[in-house]
Structure 1
Amino acid sequence: MKNKSMLIGTAIFIENDLNLEDKKRQEEINRWIKLKKGEGWQVKQGTIGQEWREKQIIGKSTGEEINIEINKKKKIIFWNIAGIWNKDKEVWKFVKKGDFISLSETWLEDKDWKKVENKLPTEFYWRAIPAKREAKKGRARDENVIIGGDFNIRIGKEGSLVGSANNEFEMDRRSSKDSIVNNGSKNLTDFCNKRNWSILNGNFVGDEEGNYTFIGARGSTVIDYIIVNEKVRGKVCRFTVDIESSQIIQL
């Protein structure tokens, strides 16, 4: 709901900002609260976080804590980290905001992986994919495909959402603050079009203007992209670009 954030810190709660399934869950929570109050519990209900929309119910008489998840959303962070060895604690605080994290350009060799793994947040399961010289052909089929990183290609406003006649995706032109098209752009867009894949930059809520992904002394560009297949595209509800760090998908 628009401007809902203005109500933070007030005593106002907008219950109607829920879909049908969420309303049913909310009713279950309310019934549970009523039951526990009837048993003499002191029950507190509140919202934890904005992304997960969790409801926490605390029975103060016993200290029991129960979390009921509603409309659970996933956040994926892609970060062209440009080296992993020199990153401080603030970096890992940011990384923990995601549910799935992809760190590229780590300059990490296979033999050093264990040293780095011991320093990574233990709340996550980590897997390293070292760079290999040999090229391998083929692509994943009928799976969730998400490709992200620095392509070093400027495609301007090319690469619109691709969709078949039986889905809801429109063929509108992408938005982008970088209108330059350089060598390699056609190869990238043709690669996506042939597979019915979509470039999220400038195509989704959160990045309506196609924000710059790189700002340097010689100018600003869009050279980092997130590409998804049709199966993933229907699950994406938000895509944002943080020029200081990363690109984030919320599913």
Structure 2
Amino acid sequence: MEQTSGLAEQARQELLTKGAEKKAARDLVAVREAELDQAELSGDIRRTAEANMKLLSAKLAVARLEGDEKKRVEARKQVWQEECDLAGIKGDKMGEATALVKVRNAELELARLEGDEKKKAEALVDVRNAELELARLEGDEKKKAEALVDVRNAELELDTKKAEALVDVRNTELELARLEGDEKKKAEANYRCTEAKLELSVATAKASLAKAGPNDVARCTREYNIASYALISHRSDGGEEKFLSGESLRQPECFVLI
């Protein structure tokens, strides 16, 4: 009984401590807001940027104490964006590029928290491009080359995600055409659905080839060539002209790499 009472008291004290910390953090935000107002009234751009960065840092501390992961990442992104802008005002190219990498990583983390695969792929491309720019400024040729490879791989991953999204759209269009019972519309939707799947096969094979090790290059090249040939054949068979003229179009609904 005494042990339970002791644990309850400990929990109560922890809550009181956290409450006091949150209040102190919010009070600091109010102070930083007042400082920012004064800086803006002074018309000093650099002082305003510095005051804004302090305010954002205070807001980040509040987000951390509240335990809201998304809010915390958003606040962190704002801090780094302000750091990036401030470095730009100072003419600090290296500092600006370094801060931009942090901003892009925060955007990537937000996309991960949202669970949006396409947004994640787009954010990763932005991260890699920021890292490449930083490597260029540092003058590190090896790091530059590695960063460029990372950019290309991220772009290929984005192409794959876009192709996957297009397949989903085309499948929905095909299902709608089936429900409407319009044979011509079904043929058109089926053609485009097949094309989207073939484009996805090409994008997937291309990404695999880019990452392939010495032992896998031949296989990945073969798979990429097969996928590319299938897509070219599909587009050159006059499919669109067939369904536009009313002729029934019959195409397989998927393509599997051999």
TM-score category, normalised to shorter length? under 0.3
Normalized per residue, which structure has more helix? Answer: 2
More strand per residue: 1 or 2?
A: 1
Who wins on radius of gyration, i.e. which is larger? 2
TM superposition score normalised by structure 1 = 0.22
The structure showing larger relative contact order (alpha-carbon pairs under 8 Å, at least 6 residues apart) is 1
**TM-score normalised over the length of structure 2:** 0.22
